[in-house]
């Protein structure tokens, strides 16, 4: 390609790269059979695409979020991250209560009631698309345990009768 291939056909000056970093070499790239577009050699992308991604990146909120509903103690993303790590694992109920630090109420007293309120698991079902379950278990020395898991048998393809 000739030097004129890297210049805008109307003699327009190259715009700044959206990365806001100095020293980026922006040139006009002709495409086969097309007009061409601005390209940044340093970022290795067209300015149209780079501008979009820098705008998306600058729009991302990096602070701590809080739930919209006043009675929710955990955001949906926090709830999903917590249970995603707990999937398939068994926990001591007393230690789980300390680890959750009051964000989610843990039932340590009544063995006939679920350890974590079913409303959290229903919310998690809606968020993740998986069916979440919890099961009380007993350790070798009589410790109270709980296991959280997703069950692929119960998916949207089948109803409760397996049809």
In a structure prediction context, what are the per-residue pLDDT tens digits for the chain, which is 163 residues long? 444 555 655 666 666 666 666 666 666 666 555 566 767 766 666 666 666 655 666 676 777 776 667 777 788 888 888 888 888 889 898 888 888 877 888 888 888 888 998 899 999 999 888 889 999 998 899 889 999 998 765 445 555 555 5
The domains of the chain are located at 3-59, 76-150
Question: What's the pLDDT score for residue 152?
Answer: 62
Can you say whether residue 96 is alpha, beta or left, with left for phi > 0 and alpha for psi between -120 and 50 degrees?
alpha
How far apart are the C-alpha atoms of 114 and 112, rounded to whole Å?
Answer: 7
Are 93 and 108 within 8 A, CB to CB? yes
Burial category of 133 from C-beta neighbours within 10 Å (exposed 0-12, middle 13-18, buried 19 and up)? middle
DSSP state, 82? H
Number of Cβ within 10 Å of residue 105's Cβ equals 13
């Amino acid at each position: 390609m000739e030097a004129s291939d890297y210049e805008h056909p109307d003699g327009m000056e190259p715009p700044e790269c959206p990365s806001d970093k100095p020293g980026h070499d922006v040139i006009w790239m002709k495409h086969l059979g097309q007009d061409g577009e601005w390209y940044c050699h340093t970022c290795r992308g067209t300015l149209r695409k780079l501008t979009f991604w820098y705008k998306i990146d600058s729009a991302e909120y990096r602070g701590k979020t809080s739930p919209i509903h006043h009675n929710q103690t955990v955001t949906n993303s926090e709830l999903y991250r917590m249970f995603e790590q707990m999937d398939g694992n068994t926990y001591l109920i007393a230690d789980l209560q300390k680890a959750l630090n009051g964000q989610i109420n843990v039932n340590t007293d009544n063995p006939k009631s679920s350890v974590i309120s079913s409303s959290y698991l229903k919310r998690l079902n809606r968020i993740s698309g998986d069916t979440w379950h919890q099961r009380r278990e007993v350790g070798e020395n009589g410790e109270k345990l709980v296991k959280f898991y997703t069950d692929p048998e119960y998916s949207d393809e089948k109803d409760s009768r397996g049809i």
